[in-house]
Amino acid sequence: MSIAEPKEAQGFLDKHPEIEFFEIVFTNMAGVPRGKRLRRHEIMAVYEQGRFLPGSILVNDITGQDVEATGLVWEDGDADRIARPIAGRLTQAPWLGPDVAQVPVSMYELDGTPHDLDPRHVLKRVIDRFAADGLTPVVACELEYYLVDAERTPEGGIQLPPSPFTGDRAMQHQVYGLREVEEASDFLRDLWESADAMGVPLEGAISEYAPGQLELTLKHHADALRAADDAVLYKRSAKGCALRHGCEATFMAKPFADLAGSGMHLHVSVNDKAGKNIFASEKPEGEPVLAHAVGGMKALLADSMAIFAPNANSYRRFKANSYAPVAPTWGVNNRTVSFRVPAGAPHTRHIEHRVAGADAHPTLALAALLAAVHHGIANKIDPGPAIVGDGYAQAAGSGERIPTNWFAAVDRFAESEVLKDYLGERFVRMFSIVKRVEQERYQSVIPNTDFDWYLRTC
């Protein structure tokens, strides 16, 4: 994992005299970007010595609060760690204005050791397992999300934004509708401009299976760290661009109870030393090694749900006949299963992992997915027969379901010996602590539903 050299910053400064401000961006295990905005004269020092940041931000919960139970707050003296820029990622950030740039950073201990709670280092640990076997994972992220009105309703709820053409709010699904994409065209132009400026390979847009829901795809990449960074930066820019158009881009897994949830579909294949896809096959289901990878996905799905579905809202998404999976099933050219082998030319054979919500941390989701792929291949795990036809109906008949309880998912993750091996024992322990504290804080809030249901009846 390369650390950026000072010459990268100097070259950028020489090329962009108009840039006055630089944001250094660290995305911790909660998936929320944090960091600092610096002035132009400060950026060279970041590249020469790094920048001190408090260790507690490694384990902030999703609301930004400290998690004292990790031992990285008071007991640790909230000691500084070193943030170092990621090579090749210093870019303009058009949605922040013409005079602002950004660079993502990774966290290191003061002695230069990669910090084991930084999601990028967790993913790198898994990638190294492939490299030791002469293999390289090739991955891509495909994110669904909603554009909602930046202004909440009087009741505190959310609503779709008015059309820039008619002022009406969308009501119909209109999946793959072109007018729906055209109504988001100003946002999309800004988004694509920002992606190009960041070097993020963002592809075309579609209107998804709900009003106001979009999906854009990132290109496959043989550098899984780069692909993860692309997805993290893309989410950040989508949110920023949306605000410029009076909207919020929300990656919540289930923002509307009666509409489709938002997933993050992860695509994966594996190359050998010669760069050949080991899943490639004339057979639609791929080679046996592809099945073994699916077997690993099935075997580790329950252990990994806390990563793929990290929040309370995440579990509202898993409903039958909703294009979200409900069982650890696989199939060929079949969107009713969790693990789909898409149609395509033989050399493109790969697996689409459909479980993660759009609210999952892309870097950690890829780490959990790749751990499962490696585990399945290394142990030649049999996934069982592929589903043909309606996977929802067959799952209902079998009684086999994916875990859909947030509390049980975190408990299962905390005890997973396989994930401790792949992701690191301390990371698994600390992630579990942060999530359990989040659960306590979430449960301490009494929603209006409690009053609606119980105020008079109890």
- The pLDDT value recorded for residue 246 is 92
Residue with tokens 């692309």: 230
How far apart, in whole angstroms, are the C-alpha atoms of residue 18 and residue 9? Answer: 14
Query: CA angle, 38 as apex, 33 and 44 as ends, to 5°?
Result: 110
Residue 220 DSSP one-character state: P
pLDDT under 70: residue ranges of the chain: 1, 170, 172-173, 176, 397, 399
- The pLDDT value recorded for residue 387 is 84
Q: What sign results for the dihedral spanned by CA atoms 316, 321, 324, 329?
A: positive
- The pLDDT value recorded for residue 321 is 77
Coil, helix or strand at residue 403: coil
DSSP alpha helix (H) spans, 218-361? 224-243, 288-308
Neighbours of 291 (CB within 10 A): 23
CA–centroid distance for 429 within its chain: 20
How far apart, in whole angstroms, are the C-alpha atoms of residue 21 and residue 342? Answer: 44
How far apart, in whole angstroms, are the C-alpha atoms of residue 256 and residue 169? Answer: 15
Cβ pair 295, 381 in contact under 8 A? yes
Q: Which of 257, 239, 259, 237 is nearest to 247 (CA)?
A: 239
How far apart, in whole angstroms, are the C-alpha atoms of residue 74 and residue 42? Answer: 29
Neighbours of 172 (CB within 10 A): 9
- The pLDDT value recorded for residue 326 is 86
The crossing angle, in degrees rounded to 10, of helices 362-379 and 119-132 is 20
In tens, the pLDDT along 391-444 reads 788 877 676 788 889 999 999 999 999 999 999 999 999 999 999 999 999 999
CA–centroid distance for 165 within its chain: 32
Tokens of 404: 């859909």
Q: Are strands 21-27 and 100-108 parallel, antiparallel or unpaired?
A: parallel
Q: What is the 3-state secondary structure (H, E, C) of 115-180?
A: CCCCHHHHHHHHHHHHHHCCCEEEEEEEEEEEEEECCCCCCCCCCCCECCCCCCECCCCCCCCHHH
- The pLDDT value recorded for residue 400 is 77
DSSP alpha helix (H) spans, 18-152? 43-49, 119-132
Q: Which helix (H) or strand (E) holds 431?
A: helix 425-443
- The pLDDT value recorded for residue 7 is 95
Tokens of 390: 């309606």
- The pLDDT value recorded for residue 206 is 84
How far apart, in whole angstroms, are the C-alpha atoms of residue 439 and residue 445? Answer: 10
- The pLDDT value recorded for residue 170 is 67
Residue with tokens 């696989």: 330
Q: Which of 320, 170, 335, 317 is nearest to 251 (CA)?
A: 317
How far apart, in whole angstroms, are the C-alpha atoms of residue 374 and residue 123? Answer: 13
How far apart, in whole angstroms, are the C-alpha atoms of residue 158 and residue 141? Answer: 26
The predicted model scores a pTM of 0.95
Q: Which of 6, 196, 19, 24 is nearest to 102 (CA)?
A: 24
In which region does residue 451 sit, left (phi positive, over 0), alpha (psi from -120 to 50) or beta (all else)? alpha
